[in-house]
């Protein structure tokens, strides 16, 4: 497994691009992105579990019912959610792109991100599609990643190379996400492309299984949004034997997919709105996977703990508190807690009780920009990891006037 450049264009047969079409007032920010596969691709997606969903989600679900797609178009600046004509605009976007790009309308995935409930006009998209298609290139992943950003401060893209049956394969992805992020997906869009040959059913199995351990273990602020989706396209151009069952090749593919998703999870968490620190909560010694995940999620979602991490305060009692109200069945008398970073590691709780530790060392450890919260439940062999960030003054500033 080797990390490479190229993002969503790393795999054979994929091009991408991004432009400013006029949805966003700031002309220096791209607001329309496109990812295109030379060949029809197996497609799989998962979506937000919020009952209020953006119109593009319904259209995308319908388009990939057959398990195939060839292009992804996404705008930023307007979520196309809770609009009377939202479905019409999403469908028109696909229709307009279909005519200019030469692919079936039903093979287009459409997505949007931005302000909820803002009236939307198809005109900027219609005017921008010719330029958008012209922007497609093998080096266009960077532009596509920029075009889906909202409050993100950093572009998020990654790719890896690996082998299946002697064939060189690649998988890459781009993502956006900074706020309104909570387990069960959130305001994030993740687009992943691969040249692996895999059946739609197995691709769906792979994605669903992976998401439960990655994107559904990610939280920024406890809010689950309306538009998020994670999409994977696999066009088979690597030439490997088609994966149709859970065999050794499927296991290798799962590892490659997980490498992409974990990397993007960390990028999203580290770029949380106003965040200064990436938090990774690693739970071990759980009696069941469910218990481990419940504990990890509860700790990473604790506003009090997130605030303590911002202040570099080793307030480990907030970790115990979050475990206590999580609903997980644990033996408090066996819980150990440590904080770790590039500056070192410090044990702050042993068997559910405080221990003597250096506040100076703890503060130094928690002043780093990546912090591990290590929790041992001391009961079993199961574990889980969750990702999040600290809670800062800037989070309130960003969201206090986000719409206006």
CA 213 – CA 274 distance, rounded (Å): 25
Architecture of domain 2-270: 4-Layer Sandwich (3.60)
Angstrom distance (rounded) from CA 234 to CA 221: 32
Sign of CA dihedral 311, 316, 319, 325: negative
Q: What is the average pLDDT across 174-203? A: 79
Question: 239 and 231 in contact (C-beta within 8 Å)?
Answer: no
Answer positive or negative: Cα dihedral of 43, 46, 51, 55: negative
CATH class of 278-400: alpha beta
pTM over 0.85: yes
Q: What residues are labeled active site?
A: 187
pLDDT digits (tens, 9 = 90+) for 367-378: 999 999 999 999
Query: Distance between CA 261 and CA 243 in Å, rounded?
Result: 20
148 pLDDT band, cuts 50/70/90, is very high
> Is the confidence at residue 166, as pLDDT, over 80?
yes
Q: What is the mean pLDDT of residues 288-297?
A: 95
Arithmetic mean of pLDDT over the chain:
92
Inform me whether the pLDDT recorded for 364 exceeds 90: yes
Q: What percent of the chain has pLDDT over 90?
A: 77
The tens digit of pLDDT for each residue in 245-267 reads: 999 999 999 999 999 999 998 89
Residue 84: pLDDT band (50, 70, 90) is confident
Beta strands in 250-317 (DSSP E): 278-286
CA–CA gap between residue 309 and residue 322 (Å, rounded): 14
Residue 285 vs residues 144, 217, 288, 347, 371: alpha-carbon distances, Å: 41, 18, 9, 16, 20
The span from the CA of 324 to the CA of 318, in Å, is: 10
* Residue-range domain boundaries for the chain: 2-270, 278-400
Residue 221: pLDDT band with limits 50, 70, 90: low
């Amino acid at each position: 497994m080797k990390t490479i450049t190229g993002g969503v264009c790393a795999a054979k047969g994929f091009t991408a691009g991004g432009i400013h079409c006029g949805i966003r007032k700031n002309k220096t920010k791209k607001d329309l992105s496109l990812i295109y596969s030379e060949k029809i691709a197996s497609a799989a997606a998962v979506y937000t579990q919020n009952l209020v969903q953006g119109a593009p989600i319904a259209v995308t679900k319908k388009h990939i019912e057959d398990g195939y797609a060839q292009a992804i178009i996404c705008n930023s600046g307007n979520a196309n959610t809770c609009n009377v004509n939202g479905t019409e605009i999403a469908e028109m976007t696909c229709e307009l792109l279909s005519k200019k790009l030469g692919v079936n309308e039903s093979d287009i995935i459409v997505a949007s991100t931005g302000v909820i409930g803002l009236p939307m006009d198809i005109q900027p998209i219609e005017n921008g599609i010719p330029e958008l298609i012209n922007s497609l290139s093998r080096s266009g992943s960077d532009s596509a990643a920029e075009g889906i950003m909202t409050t993100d401060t950093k572009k998020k893209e990654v790719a890896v190379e690996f082998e299946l049956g002697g064939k060189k394969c690649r998988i890459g992805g781009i993502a956006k996400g900074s706020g309104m992020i909570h387990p069960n997906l959130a305001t994030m869009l993740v687009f992943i492309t691969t040249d692996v040959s895999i059946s739609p059913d197995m691709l769906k199995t792979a994605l669903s299984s992976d998401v439960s351990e990655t994107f559904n273990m990610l939280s920024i602020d406890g809010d689950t949004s309306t538009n998020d989706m994670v999409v994977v396209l696999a066009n088979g151009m690597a030439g490997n034997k088609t994966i149709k069952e859970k065999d050794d090749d499927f296991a290798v593919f799962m590892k490659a997919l997980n490498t992409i998703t974990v990397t993007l999870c960390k990028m999203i968490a580290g770029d949380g709105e106003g965040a200064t620190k990436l938090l990774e909560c690693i739970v071990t010694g759980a009696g069941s996977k469910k218990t481990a995940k419940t504990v990890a999620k509860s700790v990473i979602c604790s506003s009090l703990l997130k605030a303590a991490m911002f202040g570099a305060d080793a307030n480990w009692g907030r970790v115990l508190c979050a475990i206590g109200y999580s609903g997980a069945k644990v033996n408090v008398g066996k819980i150990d807690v440590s904080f770790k970073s590039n500056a070192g590691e410090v044990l702050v709780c042993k068997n559910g009780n405080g221990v003597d530790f250096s506040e100076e060392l703890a503060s130094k450890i928690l002043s780093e920009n990546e912090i591990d919260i290590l929790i041992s439940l001391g009961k079993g062999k199961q574990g889980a990891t969750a990702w999040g960030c600290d809670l800062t003054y800037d989070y309130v500033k960003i969201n206090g006037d986000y719409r206006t």
